[in-house]
Chain A
Amino acid sequence: MNVCIKADQLTVRFSQEPILDHLSFEVPEGMIFGLLGPSGAGKTTLIKVLTGQLCQKEGKAELFGKDTRSLTAAEHGKIGAMLDNCGLYERLSVYENLSFYADIYRVSRRGIPDILKSVGLYEARKTAVSKLSKGMKNRLSLARALMNHAKLLFLDEPTSGLDPVTTREIHGILTEERKKGTTVFLTTHNMFEAESICDYVILLHRGNIIERGRPADICRKYDHLNKLHITLTDDTELTLDNNSASASAIKEYLEQDRIRSIHSSEPTLETAFIELTGKGLQ
């Protein structure tokens, strides 16, 4: 399998403080790769390095085998980016924004209606961007990133602040893109997002990779954190390990008819994150 992105001991410092600390990872072609971490972890900084907007002094980062500090038109032509701050022309309409970029990307304007339909903005094509909601702006900047049929998409928090319906629509578009063979590199601090659409995730904390793997594998690794939460009829709450050691206690409560509710909490990426850092993701 071809490697799209490769980082080797990548380090970025702002006034001596390491913001990204000796990161090494590879992103194979054709997967949705998630970078999960709380605010300030360094996600945006990493995207900036990988897209050549920020040049690191230590370590290496490569895009399609090319050092990110010297990307050329050939690499730029293969990437699409949706940055955390949209970068749209507020006074131009939805359609005008895309038609301008069609010229810049040298692609036909005839594809614009289809792209607009796929992100659900066709009806709003004549609306000025300044009049769009945040979710619509996000979808428009995703549409722009999709315009040049990039092989690699960088998406910085594509769904942050969006309602569940729009979020699901965007996830749908991303899985469609993956089917076409596009590699997606996305950042998020939403563990559900990471679990539901990412093929592989990296957990980033203060510039360090603290865990990596397929979401399901990571969760399984923290299975010892799987607990049973039991509420008894007299409102006592108990937390027991979800294994055979708890069996006799539960059997007893059941026989005495004392259980009001019983829930299991399977480990999530968030559980893993809390276990590793002592902090939540939000």
Chain B
Amino acid sequence: MKNIIAIFKKQIRDTLRNKTVLIQFLMFPAMTLIMNHTVRIPDMPQNFFVNLFAAMYIGMAPLTSIAAVISEEKEKNTLRVLILSNVKSYEYLLGIGSYVWLACMAGSMVICISGHYDWKTGLIFMGIMAVGILISLLIGAVIGIGSRTQMMATSITVPVMMIFSFLPMLSLFNGTVAKIARFAYSEQISRMLGSINSFELTAERIGVIGANIFIAALVFAATFRKCDLS
């Protein structure tokens, strides 16, 4: 536990000086705040920007930042020294993972506040974000663990992130895409956010999100066992 906390604290210090990761955390919350208060389009659905950016935030921030953090530590050999100093792989991943998760939850909070929800809907909103961020974290960690360098991680992260975060938007315009997109967690989460005032957990939603978590966890476990962290 002490190791996890130490890694968590180290990561706070590091992020404050790491512009690329910091931008990931801050960009969408800031954009939501600004757009939501300045842009007014006639007939715009309620909380249009909140929903759009929340879904994109889930698809981008946790995925890119955790992949960047892990792959950088692999590339610069800091991870090897940590493991040599008796830090267990799972302690490291929990430290980094909980940090990124909490940082993204803080960002989600900002987006949530821009939505002016009542407290019950706000809680549901945060709950949906929590699950979405977790799945993205797992995918990002898989990429981070599997890549030897940061460059390699980025080149895998970008297309993966594009697929998940643009699917919801594309499916608005294209019926065929919408049919496939149904099976992606990001699409389901985006739909839930869009109808948050009449929130209900349908079997499809539970099924798709459950399956996404299951697959992500499975791939994560396989990558973790195959590559370990060294």
Expressed in whole angstroms, the Cα–Cα distance for A92 and B12 within the complex equals 11
Which B residues fall within an 8 A CB radius of A?
2-3, 5-6, 9-10, 13-14, 17-18, 76-78, 80-87, 230
Q: Does any Cβ of B come within 8 Å of A172's Cβ?
A: no
Asked whether, in the complex, the Cβ of B86 is within 8 Å of the Cβ of A92, the reply is no
Asked whether, in the complex, the Cβ of A92 is within 8 Å of the Cβ of B14, the reply is yes
Asked whether, in the complex, the Cβ of B77 is within 8 Å of the Cβ of A53, the reply is no
Q: Does any Cβ of B come within 8 Å of A90's Cβ?
A: yes
Q: Does any Cβ of B come within 8 Å of A110's Cβ?
A: no
Known: A91-B14, A100-B6, A106-B2. 16 other contacts (CB 8 A): A52-B84, A76-B84, A77-B86, A83-B81, A87-B80, A87-B81, A88-B76, A89-B14, A92-B10, A96-B10, A96-B13, A103-B6, A104-B3, A104-B82, A104-B87, A144-B81
Asked whether, in the complex, the Cβ of B76 is within 8 Å of the Cβ of A87, the reply is yes
Q: Does any Cβ of B come within 8 Å of A73's Cβ?
A: yes
Within 8 A of B (CB), among A83-133: 83, 85-92, 96, 100-101, 103-106, 128
Q: Does any Cβ of B come within 8 Å of A51's Cβ?
A: yes
Q: Contacts of B10 on A, CB cut-off 8 Å?
A: 89, 92, 96, 100
Q: Contacts of B78 on A, CB cut-off 8 Å?
A: 87-89
If A53-B230, A83-B77, A103-B6 touch, does A91 touch B18 (CB 8 Å cutoff)?
Answer: yes
Question: Nearest 3 pairs between A and B by C-beta?
Answer: A103-B6, A87-B81, A87-B77
Q: Nearest-CB distance from B50 to chain A (Å)?
A: 33
Asked whether, in the complex, the Cβ of B6 is within 8 Å of the Cβ of A81, the reply is no
Which A residues fall within an 8 A CB radius of B?
51-53, 73, 76-77, 79, 81, 83, 85-92, 96, 100-101, 103-106, 128, 144, 148
Expressed in whole angstroms, the Cα–Cα distance for A96 and B87 within the complex equals 18
Q: Nearest-CB distance from A160 to chain B (Å)?
A: 16
Q: Contacts of B13 on A, CB cut-off 8 Å?
A: 92, 96
Q: Which residue of A lies closest to B80 (CB)?
A: A87
7 example contacts (A-B, Cβ-Cβ < 8 A) are as follows A76-B86, A81-B81, A85-B77, A91-B18, A92-B17, A96-B10, A104-B86
Q: Contacts of B5 on A, CB cut-off 8 Å?
A: 103
Q: Contacts of B76 on A, CB cut-off 8 Å?
A: 85, 87-88, 90
* Number of inter-chain CB pairs below 8 Å: 60
Q: Which residue of A lies closest to B14 (CB)?
A: A91
Q: Which residue of A lies closest to B86 (CB)?
A: A76
Expressed in whole angstroms, the Cα–Cα distance for A104 and B5 within the complex equals 10
Q: Contacts of B85 on A, CB cut-off 8 Å?
A: 76, 101, 104-105, 148
Q: Contacts of B83 on A, CB cut-off 8 Å?
A: 53
Asked whether, in the complex, the Cβ of A53 is within 8 Å of the Cβ of B86, the reply is no
Expressed in whole angstroms, the Cα–Cα distance for A103 and B85 within the complex equals 11
Expressed in whole angstroms, the Cα–Cα distance for A100 and B13 within the complex equals 10
Q: Which residue of A lies closest to B88 (CB)?
A: A73
Q: Contacts of A81 on B, CB cut-off 8 Å?
A: 81, 84
Q: Contacts of A86 on B, CB cut-off 8 Å?
A: 77
Q: Which residue of A lies closest to B75 (CB)?
A: A85
Q: Which residue of B lies closest to A128 (CB)?
A: B17
Expressed in whole angstroms, the Cα–Cα distance for A122 and B13 within the complex equals 20
Q: Contacts of B230 on A, CB cut-off 8 Å?
A: 53
Q: Contacts of A77 on B, CB cut-off 8 Å?
A: 86
Q: Nearest-CB distance from B18 to chain A (Å)?
A: 6
Q: Which residue of B lies closest to A154 (CB)?
A: B84
Q: Which residue of A lies closest to B85 (CB)?
A: A104
Asked whether, in the complex, the Cβ of B6 is within 8 Å of the Cβ of A53, the reply is no
Q: Nearest-CB distance from A127 to chain B (Å)?
A: 13
Expressed in whole angstroms, the Cα–Cα distance for A175 and B76 within the complex equals 29
Expressed in whole angstroms, the Cα–Cα distance for A89 and B10 within the complex equals 9
Q: Which residue of B lies closest to A147 (CB)?
A: B85
Q: Nearest-CB distance from A4 to chain B (Å)?
A: 17
Q: Nearest-CB distance from A102 to chain B (Å)?
A: 9
Q: Nearest-CB distance from A155 to chain B (Å)?
A: 13
Q: Nearest-CB distance from B192 to chain A (Å)?
A: 37
Expressed in whole angstroms, the Cα–Cα distance for A148 and B80 within the complex equals 17
Q: Contacts of A144 on B, CB cut-off 8 Å?
A: 81
Asked whether, in the complex, the Cβ of A53 is within 8 Å of the Cβ of B2, the reply is no
Expressed in whole angstroms, the Cα–Cα distance for A269 and B87 within the complex equals 39
Expressed in whole angstroms, the Cα–Cα distance for A76 and B2 within the complex equals 17
Expressed in whole angstroms, the Cα–Cα distance for A104 and B80 within the complex equals 14
Expressed in whole angstroms, the Cα–Cα distance for A87 and B80 within the complex equals 8
